Structure 1
Amino acid sequence: MTEENMAGRNESNRSITNVAALANVSIATVSRVLSGKRTKDDDIARRVRAAAEQLNYSVNYAASALRSTITNTIGLVIPSATETFSAQLLDEIEPTIDVDSQQLLLGIGPNQAAQGERIASLVARHVDGLIVVPAAGADLTEILEQYAGTLPIVQVGGRQRSFHTSMVGIDEDAAMEMTIGHLADQGIESVAYMAGKEISFESAELFAMFHTQVRAHHLKTQADWNRFGERSVQRGFDCAMRLFSEPLVQPEAVVCADDTIAFGMMVALHALGLRVPQDVLIVGYNDSPIASTTMPTLTSVRPPFQQIVSEALRLIALGPEHPAHVSLPPQLIVRDSTVVAR
């Protein structure tokens, strides 16, 4: 390839990234619209053509970029397809990229080593971008740094120590503040916390936030009430049995790191003859389908899955030269498990 051709291709790649960012679509969408491979004349197509005209971007460049660099694939690495957060993220991203006629390549790795292998495998398949949800306790900084210069990478949640890859996270401070504030408004004086795995940086950070908010709202908690552990129904059931089957001082509310834990607690409380919310208030996390089907229905923190996916794809469209860190606010969906009749 001549030096002139190389310069033209580099200019093409830079320009298509700018068109994608201005139109708020993926690079692949720009290529398909301007090369005629996407025939649908909708708002997306009109935005792409307007952005291309504004930036003086040629159709020939688009076709060249499509042939040389675009695979129409997005890689997604998650710790589990059944874990609540990952499952809901997967449900959101699949139809979103399908609208753009892209394909999702999925890699599942339950730990740091396995996720590293999945990342390397997806990069080898020349995905147009990579979205990674780290496993509990995983620090993927080193392996993500290897590819950060040539591939747009977005980490969702977890611990991020790199400024060369993008990060989309949830404002966990706001989540805990909303949760404890809501419980305090219900008139409780004591609260317990069922955290996630202790090896997870995220779990440890949330645990610290819990204590900060408990102090800020002048509530009480006890060390033996609060536990780290698996996000499962069985774990919630066992913890509730431990906390509430003995005639000791008991918390008036329990905050759970996942809806599955909260559901297990509610089953155990019912078996013990305790009522939710009259005797104990329960809050979950992730606002999974289980939250609206429990009896009573479960108050839960809802991550902004649609915004997470939208931001991740926007950052991928910007290319690897423009990494950014974004924090998104969650919602507290208040249901029957924390509403006390006055």
Structure 2
Amino acid sequence: MAHRAEGRRMSDVTLKDVAVRAGVHVATASRALDPQRRHLVNSETRQRVETAAGELGYRINVLARSLRKGSTGMIGAVVADLGNPFLPPMLRGLEEVLGPRGYMTAVSETHEDPETFRRVCEQLIARRVDGIVVSAAHVGDSDFISTLEKSLPVVLAVRRVSGGGHHTVTHDDVLGARLVTEYLAGLGHRRLAQLRGPEDVSSFAGRARGFQEVVAEHDCTEIVAHDRAGAPTTDEGKRLAAALLTADVGRPTAIFAHNDLMAIGALEALGEAGLRCPEDVSIVGYNDAPLTAHVTPPLTTVRLPSNALGRRVAAMMLGQLDQHKEPPTTVALEPELVIRASAAAPARDRAAG
């Protein structure tokens, strides 16, 4: 049965008492009980130390430890929009890797506002987080990211900034857009349109580039509504799609939305115009967010492995926290085309068939 050292209050039990009970050096006991360093101790010794701590009623003084080590065990995660269903799996991936090492994640939202982004990062530094994962950066934020890196470890997730030179885990957006656009061209579509995300976000810029490369290579026509989304949301996707459906040059036979939220907005616009997907217009998205397989029709999209991306970001963060001194690198995860029912051959091709 667990018991405390006889005649001692719990608050009086020291790390040295635990080490003596476990038969190890004090430094070993300290590592075994530190979530951020326990992986350095073999499992048998770690279990012996934890058992001794439990028997003695030893409790770690987290505040004292953080002051002594200059570490709070907290990682900030700055995201653009918590309403984006892509983000929860990514944040879960962070926690799956950081949690066992004793880190908690504090999530803040920017709503794509540059001033909010800077204020949130500065507040996280003031609260002494050990590192910041940034998933809300815009292309022109390179200097600000460099300033942050002078204070603490930073990893960019999903979005790049201009110039490079930062620890980054992202997705090959150019290739992903090429995959889905080539699929549409292979179905016979020659009148294509895209619902473009904000131009100062690297992922949307890459998707626009991949789309336009394929349009040029297959001698397709891009139907342009002369606008782009202020934010990559369902409402903006619906607005842009409605404009495309009434374009003076005629509507496209297929629409590539830069993310799944905008694609769902396009599906709404299509329905309100009395048109059907994919019979009248094919619609494809990007991200393979949860539930895209369950909308009507199920959405053809590009899978961005958000959980795996979060885990890679966390591993890169731990490398900095463990002072591995690795140079900044950019990891681009491979895209995967997910074919569902929202894209089909143009109506005239189906009729001819």
1:324 aligns with 2:323: no
* Contact residue 112 and residue 138 of structure 1 kept, 8 A: no
C-alpha displacement of 1:296: 0.7
Q: Compared with structure 1, are the counterparts of its residues 245 and 114 closer, same or farther at alpha carbon in structure 2 (3 Å cutoff)?
A: closer
- Aligned mates of 2:68, 2:120 — CA distance in 1: 26
Letter of the structure 1 residue corresponding to residue 114 of structure 2: Q
TM-score, structure 1 length as denominator? 0.74
Letter of the structure 1 residue corresponding to residue 117 of structure 2: Q
Residue of structure 1 in register with 2:298 after alignment: 297
* Contact residue 140 and residue 200 of structure 2 kept, 8 A: no
Residue of structure 1 in register with 2:38 after alignment: 32
C-alpha displacement of 1:132: 0.4
Question: Secondary structure of 2:81's partner?
Answer: coil
- Aligned mates of 2:220, 2:80 — CA distance in 1: 35
Q: Compared with structure 1, are the counterparts of its residues 315 and 240 closer, same or farther at alpha carbon in structure 2 (3 Å cutoff)?
A: closer
Residue of structure 1 in register with 2:124 after alignment: 122
Q: Compared with structure 1, are the counterparts of its residues 236 and 141 closer, same or farther at alpha carbon in structure 2 (3 Å cutoff)?
A: closer
Q: Compared with structure 1, are the counterparts of its residues 199 and 309 closer, same or farther at alpha carbon in structure 2 (3 Å cutoff)?
A: closer
TM-score, structure 2 length as denominator? 0.72
* Contact residue 193 and residue 227 of structure 1 kept, 8 A: no
* Contact residue 139 and residue 159 of structure 1 kept, 8 A: no
* Contact residue 135 and residue 159 of structure 2 kept, 8 A: yes
Question: Secondary structure of 1:142's partner?
Answer: helix
Report percent identity of matched pairs.
25
Larger Rg: 2
* Contact residue 97 and residue 314 of structure 2 kept, 8 A: no
Residue of structure 2 in register with 1:315 after alignment: 316
Q: How does 1:5-24 map to 2 (within 5 A)?
A: none
Gapped runs of 5+ residues in structure 2?
Answer: 1-33, 48-64
1:178 aligns with 2:183: no
1:152 aligns with 2:158: no
Letter of the structure 2 residue corresponding to residue 212 of structure 1: E
> Which digits, 9 at most, give the CA deviation of each residue in 1:103-162, with x for residues without a partner?
111222232222222222223333332210124x46332333234256321012334246
Q: Compared with structure 1, are the counterparts of its residues 39 and 283 closer, same or farther at alpha carbon in structure 2 (3 Å cutoff)?
A: farther
Q: Compared with structure 1, are the counterparts of its residues 112 and 256 closer, same or farther at alpha carbon in structure 2 (3 Å cutoff)?
A: same
Q: How does 1:248-327 map to 2 (within 5 A)?
A: 249-319=250-320, 321-322=325-326, 323-327=328-332
Gapped runs of 5+ residues in structure 1?
Answer: 1-27, 42-63
- Aligned mates of 2:248, 2:120 — CA distance in 1: 49
* Contact residue 33 and residue 39 of structure 1 kept, 8 A: no
Q: CA RMSD in A?
A: 3.2
C-alpha displacement of 1:70: 4.0
- Aligned mates of 2:340, 2:186 — CA distance in 1: 14
- Aligned mates of 1:224, 1:289 — CA distance in 2: 29
Residue of structure 2 in register with 1:22 after alignment: none
C-alpha displacement of 1:337: 0.3
Question: Secondary structure of 1:130's partner?
Answer: strand
